[in-house]
Structure 1
Amino acid sequence: MKTPTHTMTDPAWTLNAEDWNPDAITEHGNRFLLGNGHMGYRGTLEEFGPDERVGVLLPGVFDQVGDAWREPVNAPNGLHTRVRLNGRWLDPLEMTPIAHRQTLDLRGALHRRETQYQLDGVTVTVAAERFLSAHEVHLMAMRYTVAVDGPAEVTLQTGIDPAIWDLNGPHLPHLEASHAGDCILLRGDTAEAGHRVAVAQVACLSGDVAETPETVKDSRRSWTLQSDGALQLELQTFCAVYHSVEHRTGPVDQAANAHVQRAAARGYEAVRQDHLDTWEARWQQADVQIEGDTEAQKALRYSLYQLLSAAPFHAESLSIPARALSGQVYKGAVFWDTEIFMLPFFLATFPELARNLLRYRVHALPGAQAKAREYGYAGAFYAWESQDAGHEACTLFNVTDVFTGRPTRTYFRDKQIHISADIAWAFWRYVQVTGDLAFLWDGGWQVMLECARFFFSYAHLKSDQSHYVLLDVTGPDEYHERVHNNAYTNYMVAAALQSLLTATGRLEASDPQRFAQLLETCDASPEEIERLRDFSARLYCPTPDPETGVIEQFDGYLQLENCSLEALKSRLLDPHEYLGGGSGLATTTQILKQADVVLLLALMRDAFSVAIKRANWAFYEPRTEHGSSLSACAYGLSALDTGNVDYAYEYFLKTATIDLTGKSKQFVGPLYIGGTHPAANGGAWMVATEGFAGIRLREDGVHCQPHLPTHWQAISFSVCWRGQRLDLSMTRDGLTATAAEDNAQPIPFFVCGVTLKCLPGRPVTVPLG
């Protein structure tokens, strides 16, 4: 699919914030975020510091200070730059600009700002463009210009800001500045593990500078000029950020220094073009074009931008945290969000990146095994909040009682056993779509086995030996903890077990001798596989009520109080009360925090009839608060499966615009909990392509059953199946599927009951309606 060209002001590719609003600083920090997988740079202005929540996040570099929460480290800001005019620093917090604009170019992942001041009869305009290189992930660069239209003394200062915003720091308590030629270097070690972080900067000033000397002090440099009339300055800044967690081939400070020197020698335009070319290639594969709906187009494209910005294309030991690269909230941990809500996008567009995300879980297996042992179980109990090496970062007390101020015990860490099933589910989905058995040989099968071992050790066999049950668990709905036989959990565990058994048969059939060695390596046996087969056959999964069609969310759920969400919230004594937990208002009612049974239906779309889906959507929708960003997309997908396109569109917009509207919660009291929502971003892609366009990537090929909104004229996008690319374009009247010319094999394509084969380079058109 060819992505259309755009201009720098194209509204379909551009986010703008006009005028200056100091109350929007934190919100804009999230909205105008830059990222390249290696680091994230919040969308703040260049002159800002820790009070404005400037953050250069380094995912995968964790640190803990004292008893505070362990979290990822923010690096010193190597693009910190400001201007002084006649002795006064230009700062929109101190003097109101006469004009201001902040822009994010989604196509090129470029952040721009332009701010204009009037001071002492002189107008000064500050403009900047910056990016985090997608081509060289350690590199960030900026072009910063200053224009003065009258006589004034102008000081331009840039450098590496040693003041770092941390939620639970300081993580780099001792920073050391040094200079080598044109390069300024700031380095420090994390407090807990001594990981070295090094930031190097080179800045090149041009314009009306004559013989202006440069002054260097600590980690900053400055130039002072006297303007007799008009003055034009341009500063090109290059910054490299390295850390020892990832770079092990030599000192990180030397690597940062050498890299930034190379970039400066090439110049801003050259490194910028490499960055733009990389993004262009990614958009060619990932973009979704919607005709007839400007709002949906921008919201979906922004969602894809956020996913691509957070994606670790460069590493297989990283995944995507629950708040992406927008900050340290949720401890920078990886949740089950990644496998369930983000992986489908990458699996369909960048399967090699999907493999990287799953490889993170292979690397995290020792941590999951350690957690299982901690609670007395076998196998792998994956973390609810997973940090490096699978370390469980979730505490036992995650909520504070608003009335007593005391921490409240929660059961996210020790009872959300579905995490291991979600991961095994994702592993098998990857293999089904890609056919990559090598992934199973190289650790994937072992992870699936260890998850099955965990569930077998966790399950209870009924006294009559009839079936196994899963007791004392917490499902996706966090308001109801420690329940028995949560439907989502039981079905996902059953799917994980069946996937393991199918994978076992595939590997054994493809290479019996190698599989025998794999069994030995994993300390497994054919007898154990048969025990797991019996466990799978006898695991209890709640069935729909024969009269209503409703699947009970967990044992006893239907005996809870049936009240409306409005009635429940009328009982609040404090607007910040937590509705779940042992004494939460929702605990004894049927009110849910988020999709639970409906998420099950959305994931296992072929396992339930339309009538069952319709009954459960109608039952659970009015009972769901949607207090989680994971919820709306599940209801959108399920609505489409029941033929309700209007409801689906409503939920699609809710999930696609979550980081654009600014309505998401940023604070709980003084505690900052803001950031971006990559799971919702992934959910938006799922509703648009798997829902409205009706695309499903299955083991036997690509299936399609469109349900386009009435006002959409067309939707176009690409998917990958078994390494082969398929470009799709559809209207309400018909669709065209074109297999890429360089595909090596035909793609089986099933659309509205018609079976086709898409041959390389040959478009196939199918009428709809």
Structure 2
Amino acid sequence: MDYSIGKDKYENWILGDQDFSAFHLGKTETVMLLGNGYMGLRSAAEEPYLNEKRNLFINGTFNKADQNEVTELPNVADATRLDILIDGERFSLEFGETGDYSKQLNLKDAELTRSFVWTSPQGKKLQFHFSRFVSLAHPHLIGMKMEIQSLSGAVEVSIESGLSAQVTNSGVQHFLEGDRKISEGRFIQLVQTTTQSGIDFVHNTVHTLKLNDEEITAEADKYMERRKVWMSYKCKVEQGDRFDLEKLTTVHTSRDKERDHEQYSLAEMQKQSMGELKDFDKEGFERLRDSHRLAWQENVWNAYEFEVESENPDDQLAIRFSLYHLTAMAPAHDDRMGIGAKALSGEAYKGHSFWDTEIFILPFFIYSNPDTARSLLQYRYHGMAGARQKAEQFGYAGAMFPWEMAWPTDGEVTPEWGDIDIVTGERTKIWSGLIEHHLSADIAFAVYQYVNVTGDEEFLELCGYEMVFDTARFWSSRFEWNEEEQRFEITDVIGPDEYKEHVSNNTFTNYLAYFNLMLAMRYAEKLAKENPALWKSLVGEGDHANWQSKAEQLFLPEPRSEDLVLPQDDTYLELPEIKLDKYKTQTKARTIYRDYNPEQINGIQVTKQADIVLLFFLMEQTFLKDDPRFSRKAKKENFIYYEARTLHDSSLSLSTHAIAASQIGEQELAYSLFRKTCEIDMGPNMHSSDDGIHAAAIAGIWKAAVFGFAGVRQADGSLQINPRMPKEWRHMRFSIFWQGELLQLDITEKRLKIRSDSQREIQFETNGVVYTFEDSIEVQLKH
């Protein structure tokens, strides 16, 4: 990968690959993903290769392939493949000679391009250029263009292109055979319907051919076979001539919000979507690409305005990479949809949403795009029925949210079995969906954070109160009474550190559950004063007293007196230690599983990802921030202790440790952890992203910069800004929303400038001093 390609107005905007390798296709297919929140298109090459993964996912279109499978996002019909013949010889970069190869994702324009000079085994020399976009201006549209110029005499170019529903999810077919047709000699349509969820998909595509910029009608044949319909074109290209093929494709589904109603008609969707494609055909590839570029500039880059002046120019590129993928993954169009752990970039995790969204991804949207943040929280609210059903299934009250969530009504969708046990050779049991319970409190925290930052009281009344009260009811029923200790405990759980299964009193889980109960009580008191009728409908007669009693008697682990270290769970600090050096310096995550099985890992002091360190980060944002157990000294001691034992085998981990290191004054380490966060997907490991992007880590790039280096924080409803920039950074500038007002922050080592377009008073705290301003303010920073 090469990140220095961008020049002039595209400096620090380009991700590039200058050396084609058929063995490393997954890297660029993933990091160069094209998407708009409605759909995500993996950036496979147009010509086919053995190790490619052609994935197109439409958000929210989950299907269960069979009874022994869990629901997943199906890989829908492919329109990107082009089978190309040059004088009857199959074109592939695995044959002949390739020169001047370049594959690039232009983040600014959200456009994928690929160009090279190819000499065929027969000696025919041609210049190829491909470009592709997934439109942000028209969410159902994919645009493609191929340009071929002959450099060594006349050649005959043959191209087969159309729609293929022969793709699968790693061999699993999710669709019934559907209607296919070609109309007016140009317009191709293919229909497919999911086998279990019954979702209709209508794909349309059309080709336009040009020779030296003049539209032509080339010789064309029409073909159709099982799950596939396509056309074959032939054109003679003289030396120096340029042959262009432009292809416009649209995708619509019966799950689209505008069609999800009783009057829905597949025939009508076929008709309307084809009419839309014909309108796009009249507009043409170039104009559609221009409107797409404009949408990105206005809706993303002008809106977020994030600039970094660093000794390492890759830092600016990484920030833009983060903003690009956060935009591409977010279903801002539909509050019934969430963000998967791999977003829309690969089949791993099956498109399911985890706690990644609330704790790692949502904060970006809360501070940068509150409307989308609200939509993502409403997705969880739509899943309340499934959360209540799961709680009832396990014998609990309230709402116990699914560890993995798909369509809101699907309930728990965590698979039962996972990777190989290196000792027994059998599959390992996945316990997360059964005993990793902290998610319910994570969602309550997300509601609290969202409301404090945005001031969106309407959301509280429509959704938020109910979510917090029902999760509090779950925890109240989940606690177990320890008669000997005379306290409530939480036993047999998994905390954020998933290398510790079946533990008791995971400190993160206990404190988050406690916070959840305390928040429910606070919200109940607030609601009783402000809206008694709603309070009466949402809060049961004995709820408040029950929450208070349970909270007061819940065991909250105490730090060790000698070093203030909080135990991760009941037994962690008593477990034996091993040398972790080789795992701390590993180039591939989870190599410890090649030496130990889960049961053995459970019995040693090793942590997969941020657990106690994450707890400190969350608690300092709440009404528990002044608790001496979360003091600055305790934060430092816990960071030192757990960083040494944390392998960061989850991509969620590094950004949290980067933020913590920055807060305790370890700027060199903080910057190193920030760079490692960036390199999870952008780094030199050419297989790190084969299965898809690491959505939470991509959000972590933004978090490490804003919460770590800029020191932005909401602390129980107040705004704190305590910059701690690394020595490599000279300047950073970005915007955030605070309680409905847009603030522009400009930070150097010595000063903080804030500007607001509002005439409303804004209050914030820096280095313990509270400031108030209306238009703008400049504060000198002390270190």
Query: Normalization by structure 2: what TM-score?
Result: 0.91
User: Following the alignment from structure 1 to structure 2, what is the Cα–Cα distance between the partners of residues 286 and 231?
Assistant: 43
- 315 and 49 in structure 1: CA distance in 2 versus 1, 3 angstrom threshold: farther
Q: Does 1:164 pair with 2:170?
A: no
User: Following the alignment from structure 1 to structure 2, what is the Cα–Cα distance between the partners of residues 156 and 581?
Assistant: 51
Letter in 1 for 2:440: S
Letter in 1 for 2:453: V
1:736-760 CA-to-partner distances (Å, cap 9, x unmatched) read 1111x2x36232122223332332x
Residue 657 of structure 2, aligned match among 632, 635, 643: 635
Q: 2:218 aligns to what?
A: 212
Q: Does 1:659 pair with 2:659?
A: no
Residue 284 of structure 1, aligned match among 302, 306, 310: 302
Residue 264 of structure 1, aligned match among 274, 281, 284: 281
Offset, 1:700: 4.3
Q: 2:593 aligns to what?
A: 577
Q: Does 1:482 pair with 2:502?
A: yes
Offset, 1:515: 2.7
1:514-533 aligned within 5 A: 514-516=534-536, 518-519=537-538, 524-533=539-548
Residue 532 of structure 2, aligned match among 507, 512, 529: 512
Offset, 1:722: 1.2
- 320 and 343 in structure 1: CA distance in 2 versus 1, 3 angstrom threshold: same
Q: Does 1:609 pair with 2:631?
A: yes
Q: 1:3 aligns to what?
A: none
Offset, 1:9: 7.2
Give the alignment's Cα RMSD to 1 decimal: 2.3
Answer yes or no: is the 8 Å Cα contact 1:448–1:500 preserved in 2.
yes
1:357-372 aligned within 5 A: 357-372=376-391
Stretches of structure 2 that go unaligned for 5 or more consecutive residues are 1-5
Q: 2:292 aligns to what?
A: 275
Higher mean alpha-carbon deviation, 143-152 vs 657-666, is at 657-666
Letter in 2 for 1:639: A
1:28-55 CA-to-partner distances (Å, cap 9, x unmatched) read 1111111111111112112237851011
User: Following the alignment from structure 2 to structure 1, what is the Cα–Cα distance between the partners of residues 288 and 321?
Assistant: 24
Partner SS for 1:748: strand
Letter in 2 for 1:623: R
1:328-343 aligned within 5 A: 328-343=347-362
User: Following the alignment from structure 2 to structure 1, what is the Cα–Cα distance between the partners of residues 24 and 693?
Assistant: 15
Letter in 2 for 1:262: D
Q: 1:733 aligns to what?
A: 750
Q: 2:329 aligns to what?
A: 310
Letter in 2 for 1:189: T
User: Following the alignment from structure 1 to structure 2, what is the Cα–Cα distance between the partners of residues 369 and 220?
Assistant: 47
Q: 2:454 aligns to what?
A: 434
Q: Does 1:187 pair with 2:196?
A: no
Offset, 1:260: 1.6
1:56-205 aligned within 5 A: 56-66=56-66, 67-119=68-120, 120-149=122-151, 150-167=153-170, 169-181=172-184, 182-205=186-209
Q: 1:624 aligns to what?
A: 646
User: Following the alignment from structure 1 to structure 2, what is the Cα–Cα distance between the partners of residues 439 and 538?
Assistant: 31
User: Following the alignment from structure 2 to structure 1, what is the Cα–Cα distance between the partners of residues 598 and 164?
Assistant: 45
Q: Does 1:538 pair with 2:548?
A: no
User: Following the alignment from structure 1 to structure 2, what is the Cα–Cα distance between the partners of residues 261 and 402?
Assistant: 56
1:196-229 CA-to-partner distances (Å, cap 9, x unmatched) read 1121002211225655333332321232122343
User: Following the alignment from structure 1 to structure 2, what is the Cα–Cα distance between the partners of residues 613 and 664?
Assistant: 36
Letter in 2 for 1:577: Y
Q: 1:767 aligns to what?
A: 780
Letter in 2 for 1:660: M
User: Following the alignment from structure 1 to structure 2, what is the Cα–Cα distance between the partners of residues 235 and 677?
Assistant: 34
User: Following the alignment from structure 1 to structure 2, what is the Cα–Cα distance between the partners of residues 211 and 449?
Assistant: 65
Residue 596 of structure 1, aligned match among 611, 622, 634: 611
Q: 1:670 aligns to what?
A: none
User: Following the alignment from structure 1 to structure 2, what is the Cα–Cα distance between the partners of residues 343 and 569?
Assistant: 29
Q: 1:226 aligns to what?
A: 236
Offset, 1:403: 4.2
Q: 2:12 aligns to what?
A: 12
Partner SS for 1:145: strand
Partner SS for 1:101: strand
Answer yes or no: is the 8 Å Cα contact 1:408–1:581 preserved in 2.
no
Higher mean alpha-carbon deviation, 651-660 vs 116-125, is at 116-125
1:671-686 aligned within 5 A: 674-686=691-703
- 632 and 93 in structure 1: CA distance in 2 versus 1, 3 angstrom threshold: same
User: Following the alignment from structure 1 to structure 2, what is the Cα–Cα distance between the partners of residues 156 and 567?
Assistant: 51
Offset, 1:359: 0.7
User: Following the alignment from structure 1 to structure 2, what is the Cα–Cα distance between the partners of residues 20 and 315?
Assistant: 38
User: Following the alignment from structure 1 to structure 2, what is the Cα–Cα distance between the partners of residues 664 and 447?
Assistant: 42
Higher mean alpha-carbon deviation, 336-345 vs 532-541, is at 532-541
Q: 1:300 aligns to what?
A: 319
User: Following the alignment from structure 1 to structure 2, what is the Cα–Cα distance between the partners of residues 171 and 622?
Assistant: 45
1:466-477 aligned within 5 A: 466-477=486-497
Letter in 2 for 1:431: V
Q: Percent identity?
A: 29
User: Following the alignment from structure 1 to structure 2, what is the Cα–Cα distance between the partners of residues 211 and 243?
Assistant: 32
User: Following the alignment from structure 1 to structure 2, what is the Cα–Cα distance between the partners of residues 579 and 485?
Assistant: 28
Offset, 1:568: 8.4
1:488-533 CA-to-partner distances (Å, cap 9, x unmatched) read 00111111122222222222222222332x32xxxx4232222112
Offset, 1:18: 0.4
User: Following the alignment from structure 1 to structure 2, what is the Cα–Cα distance between the partners of residues 392 and 48?
Assistant: 37
Offset, 1:8: 7.9
Q: 1:703 aligns to what?
A: 720
Letter in 2 for 1:74: N
Letter in 2 for 1:510: E
Answer yes or no: is the 8 Å Cα contact 1:401–1:578 preserved in 2.
no
User: Following the alignment from structure 1 to structure 2, what is the Cα–Cα distance between the partners of residues 579 and 321?
Assistant: 30
Letter in 1 for 2:646: T
User: Following the alignment from structure 1 to structure 2, what is the Cα–Cα distance between the partners of residues 457 and 168?
Assistant: 42
User: Following the alignment from structure 1 to structure 2, what is the Cα–Cα distance between the partners of residues 592 and 730?
Assistant: 35
- 335 and 664 in structure 1: CA distance in 2 versus 1, 3 angstrom threshold: farther
Answer yes or no: is the 8 Å Cα contact 1:694–1:704 preserved in 2.
yes
Q: 1:722 aligns to what?
A: 739
Answer yes or no: is the 8 Å Cα contact 1:127–1:146 preserved in 2.
yes
User: Following the alignment from structure 1 to structure 2, what is the Cα–Cα distance between the partners of residues 203 and 422?
Assistant: 48
User: Following the alignment from structure 2 to structure 1, what is the Cα–Cα distance between the partners of residues 530 and 698?
Assistant: 38
Answer yes or no: is the 8 Å Cα contact 2:17–2:104 preserved in 1.
yes
- 158 and 318 in structure 1: CA distance in 2 versus 1, 3 angstrom threshold: same
User: Following the alignment from structure 1 to structure 2, what is the Cα–Cα distance between the partners of residues 146 and 8?
Assistant: 27
User: Following the alignment from structure 1 to structure 2, what is the Cα–Cα distance between the partners of residues 561 and 100?
Assistant: 52
User: Following the alignment from structure 2 to structure 1, what is the Cα–Cα distance between the partners of residues 377 and 171?
Assistant: 29
Offset, 1:106: 0.8
Q: Does 1:447 pair with 2:449?
A: no
- 569 and 25 in structure 1: CA distance in 2 versus 1, 3 angstrom threshold: closer
- 168 and 380 in structure 1: CA distance in 2 versus 1, 3 angstrom threshold: farther
Q: Does 1:502 pair with 2:512?
A: no
The aligned length equals 746
Higher mean alpha-carbon deviation, 192-201 vs 161-170, is at 161-170
Q: 1:253 aligns to what?
A: 270
Letter in 1 for 2:780: P
Higher mean alpha-carbon deviation, 392-401 vs 449-458, is at 392-401
Answer yes or no: is the 8 Å Cα contact 1:78–1:200 preserved in 2.
no
Offset, 1:550: 0.4
User: Following the alignment from structure 2 to structure 1, what is the Cα–Cα distance between the partners of residues 593 and 381?
Assistant: 38
1:599-630 CA-to-partner distances (Å, cap 9, x unmatched) read 11122233511110111111111111111111
Partner SS for 2:62: strand
Letter in 1 for 2:52: E
Stretches of structure 1 that go unaligned for 5 or more consecutive residues are 1-5, 668-672
Answer yes or no: is the 8 Å Cα contact 2:449–2:714 preserved in 1.
no
Answer yes or no: is the 8 Å Cα contact 2:59–2:331 preserved in 1.
no
Partner SS for 1:583: helix
User: Following the alignment from structure 1 to structure 2, what is the Cα–Cα distance between the partners of residues 64 and 666?
Assistant: 28
Letter in 2 for 1:646: E
User: Following the alignment from structure 2 to structure 1, what is the Cα–Cα distance between the partners of residues 670 and 237?
Assistant: 60
Letter in 1 for 2:665: G
